[in-house]
Amino acid sequence: MAQKLDEYIEDNKAIIHKEIRKHLDKLAIPERLKSAMIYSIEAGGKKIRPILVMASYETYGQDKDKVISTAVALEMIHTYSLIHDDLPAMDDDDLRRGYPTNHIQFDEATAILAGDALLTYSFEIIANDPKLSSNEKVNIIQMLSSHSGPKGMVSGQILDMEAENHPVTLEELENIHNLKTGRLLSFAITSGAYLSGATTDQIEHLSTFSYYLGLIFQVQDDILDVTGDANKIGKPVGSDSSNEKSTYPKLLGMDGAIKQKQIYVDKAKQALQRADADKSYLILLTDYLTQRDH
Amino acid sequence: MAQKLDEYIEDNKAIIHKEIRKHLDKLAIPERLKSAMIYSIEAGGKKIRPILVMASYETYGQDKDKVISTAVALEMIHTYSLIHDDLPAMDDDDLRRGYPTNHIQFDEATAILAGDALLTYSFEIIANDPKLSSNEKVNIIQMLSSHSGPKGMVSGQILDMEAENHPVTLEELENIHNLKTGRLLSFAITSGAYLSGATTDQIEHLSTFSYYLGLIFQVQDDILDVTGDANKIGKPVGSDSSNEKSTYPKLLGMDGAIKQKQIYVDKAKQALQRADADKSYLILLTDYLTQRDH
């Protein structure tokens, strides 16, 4: 690891940001659609998913140019999912990361279409990347659609909505978060490793790692919703509670939630060790995500 | 052409319907999401796009098993676009093809997610088809995303919304319809020809054909909105007029619209001749779409 984690994150954020803008800027499309797509991509995200793609790739491989289109596509899919989740018919959020949500900044119809456009464009970007072989493109597209579509993230969103206003067990909560958040994190980790030429065993252990990373991510979100600083997290503290959402602190108490997070961290790090990845940026990113304050 | 057109349509509709159901039935996902996806796929569509894929393929190729996943993916993308177009924030339609629209039958959030799921799943179906080579998969995915995404159908939808409540020229109207309707028809025709091994010249002429076919499709829609039978078209007659939409009859008068349709038909048929496709089902389908009453 040649760089400190914060430099590594900043450098990769800059690379990804530049690449995403390149793909969006070149679109000769109606101005309103383009602005809405760019708006949510730019609106202050941590770009943690594409950074995980790159860190996973660099655990085993070199020349990270090969993995950038996958990182870009993933960030577009993540962004589309936020735009649609924020809609009045879904979570009805006016603020996201401290900025007005897409449908507030533009309008609902534009937000729906900007989401659809980002989702669709992500597959085109993979299909057009001259750095990938046809086999690699097909495998990445297969993984991306499977993790983000009806078997993955979209099911998580449906289950999350169904879980509102009625109690769920810890097992159900883990299943919802694994689908809603974990599947994209799993794609980030396994796609990067796949493109780097990691072994099937290594990818298998990283897949286990990503499962726990997703749960860490969510429990920390839930904790921040109770204890966080509204200015840092970019939305009002306590919004989960007022939405009557099932959360870790609600199910386990705050102490229980913190203990549960540590259980997930231990399991995540064990899996990293088995994947020969315990000297990579993935382990620093795990600590970073465990302790993040926004 | 071994069969009459109506038999050809019915046979292919049955094949496509069976294949789509196979792909949807096997999904182990929350029941609500699955039902909503199936509901709109089943809700009385003509399945004209996948039939065009197959007719275009069969103009030059044999063993149509090879083209079915492309036809299925296209119908899923078309269906997602209808679900999202019907939403309250977009066209706000309660009825589609005589059935309650998805968000009326389920709810808005489910409709948004069912659309997202169909869109995403369509790429997975292509990526997983064992009958296609990796190169073919990549090319089909490239074409499908390009025709349906921000450069294609989604831009058409944005422009269509922007055109409401203010007058547009015939040229602008053609551009909107080419994007909103024409790009998916163009994908249908050119993807089928590509997979059949048609020459670049033939595909080029078919692309021209599909451009005019899209305009025929739209002018006939506009004519039916004035003169059609509400029971056959499955929505109230005159809804375009009450929406203050720009239509061919409004721009050109009813006689002008009918004449304009004939101009498009002549150009479409010339292009078919140049593509050596004037003895195929494509020519019968052109007449069918020109004269359809629903």
Q: In this structure, are strands B95-96 and B99-100 parallel, antiparallel, or unpaired?
A: antiparallel
Q: Residue B45: is its pLDDT beyond 90?
A: no
Assess B73–A contact: CB distance below 8 Å, yes or no: no
CA angle, A12 then A17 then A23, to 5°: 130
Q: Which of A69-73, A97-101, B1-5 has the lowest mean pLDDT?
A: B1-5
Q: CATH classification of A5-287, choosing from 3.30.930.10, 1.10.600.10, 2.40.50.140, 3.40.1440.10?
A: 1.10.600.10
What integer pLDDT is reported at residue A1 of this predicted model? Answer: 66
**B155 contacts A33? CB cut-off 8 A:** yes
Chains A and B form CB pairs within 8 A to the count of 154
B234-292 pLDDT, tens per residue? Answer: 666 666 655 667 789 988 999 999 999 999 999 999 999 999 998 899 999 999 999 98
pLDDT-based confidence at B43, cuts 50/70/90? confident
CB B139 within 8 A of CB B74: no
Lowest-confidence segment of A225-229, A231-235, A250-254, B244-248 by average pLDDT: A231-235
Position A242 scores a pLDDT of: 58
The answer to whether B68 and B192 have CB atoms below 8 angstroms apart is no
For residue A28, give how far its alpha carbon lies from the nearest alpha carbon of chain B (Å). Answer: 7
CA distance B270 to B264: 10
A124 vs B contacts (CB less than 8 Å) = 141-142, 145-146, 149
Confidence label for A244 from pLDDT (cuts 50, 70 and 90): low
Smallest Cα distance from A116 to chain B, Å: 7
Q: What is the mean pLDDT of residues B130-155?
A: 98
Residue A292: the pLDDT is 85
What pLDDT does residue A225 have? 86
Are the Cβ atoms of B32 and A113 closer than 8 angstroms?
A: no
Question: What's at B126, amino acid-wise?
Answer: I
At A13 the pLDDT is 95
Beta strand residue intervals within chain A, DSSP E: 95-96, 99-100
So what's the pLDDT on residue B292? Answer: 85
Task: Write down the pLDDT at residue A233.
Answer: 62
User: What is the pLDDT at residue A46?
Assistant: 86
* Mean pLDDT score across all residues of chain B: 93
Q: Which residues in chain A have Cβ-Cβ distances shorter than 8 Å to B151?
A: 27-29
Tens of pLDDT, residues B197-224: 999 999 999 999 999 999 999 899 899 9
Whole-angstrom distance, CA of residue B174 vs CA of residue B156 = 10
Q: Which of A33, A107, A110 shows the shortest C-beta gap to B150?
A: A33
Please tell me which of the candidates B119, B123, B154 has its beta carbon nearest to residue A33.
Answer: B154
Q: Evaluate whether A192 touches A52 at the Cβ level (below 8 Å).
A: yes
As a whole number of angstroms, the distance between CA B128 and CA B134 comes to 10
* Between B98 and B228, residue with greater pLDDT: B98
* Res. B182 pLDDT band, cuts 50 70 90: very high
Does the beta carbon of A254 lie under 8 angstroms from any beta carbon of chain B? no
Domain B5-289: top CATH class: mainly alpha
User: Which residues have CB under 8 Å from A100's CB, separation 6+?
Assistant: A94
CA distance A78 to chain B (A): 13
Distance separating alpha carbons of residues A95 and A104, to the nearest angstrom: 8
What pLDDT score was predicted for residue B233? 62
**Does the beta-carbon distance from A84 to B112 stay under 8 Å?**
yes
Residue window 77-106, chain A: list those with CB within 8 Å of chain B: 80, 84, 87, 89-90, 103
Query: Cβ neighbours of residue A229 under 8 Å, at least 6 residues apart?
Result: A237, A293, A294
Structure tokens of A290? Answer: 């465990």
* H or E stretch at B96: strand B95-96
- What residues 158-187 of chain B have any CB closer than 8 A to a CB of chain A? 158-159, 161-162
Is residue A105 predicted with pLDDT exceeding 80? yes
The pTM of the full predicted model, rounded to 2 decimals, is: 0.95
Say if the Cβ atoms of A137 and B134 lie within 8 Å: yes
Q: Are B107 and B72 in contact (CB under 8 A)?
A: no
Segment B105-132 shows an average pLDDT of 98
The answer to whether the CB atoms of A157 and B89 lie below 8 A apart is: no
Tokens linked to B27: 């999904």
Would you tell me which residues 131-160 of chain A have a C-beta closer than 8 angstroms to some C-beta of chain B? 133-135, 137-139, 141-142, 144-146, 148-151, 154-155, 157-159
Judge whether B161 and A109 are in contact, CB under 8 Å: yes
Q: Which of B49, B24, B45, B20 is nearest to B36 (CA)?
A: B24
- Whether residue A112 and residue B87 make contact (CB cut-off 8 A), yes or no, is yes
pLDDT cut 90: percent of chain B above it: 80
B169, with CB counted inside 10 A (0-12, 13-18, 19+), is exposed
Per-domain residue ranges of chain B: 5-289
CA distance A128 to chain B (A): 7
Do the beta carbons of residue B142 and residue A127 sit within 8 Å? yes
Using the structure block, give the residue that is written with the tokens 């709109």. B40
Quick one: closest CA in A to B32, which residue? A158
Mean pLDDT of A11-36: 97
Measured between CA atoms, how close is B212 to chain A, in angstroms? 22
How far apart are alpha carbons B83 and B108 in whole angstroms? 10
A106 DSSP 8-state letter: S
Residue of B32, B77, B158, B184 to mutate, interface with A, max A Cβ within 10 Å: B158
Number of alpha helices (DSSP H) and beta strands (DSSP E) in chain B = 15, 2
Which of A80, A141, A151 lies nearest to residue B123, judging by beta carbons? A141
Question: Which value, in Å, is the radius of gyration of the alpha carbons in chain A?
Answer: 18
Output the DSSP codes for A74-93. HHHHHHHHHHHHTSTTTT--
Q: Which residue has the higher pLDDT, B241 or A138?
A: A138
User: With contacts defined as CB-CB under 8 Å, which chain B residues touch A27?
Assistant: 150-151
The pLDDT > 90 percentage for chain A reads 80
pLDDT at A74 over 90: yes
Q: What is the mean predicted confidence (pLDDT) over B158-184?
A: 90
Interchain contact, B123 vs A145, CB within 8 Å = yes
Token couple for A97: 């990361």
Minimal Cβ distance to A123: which of B107, B133, B145: B145
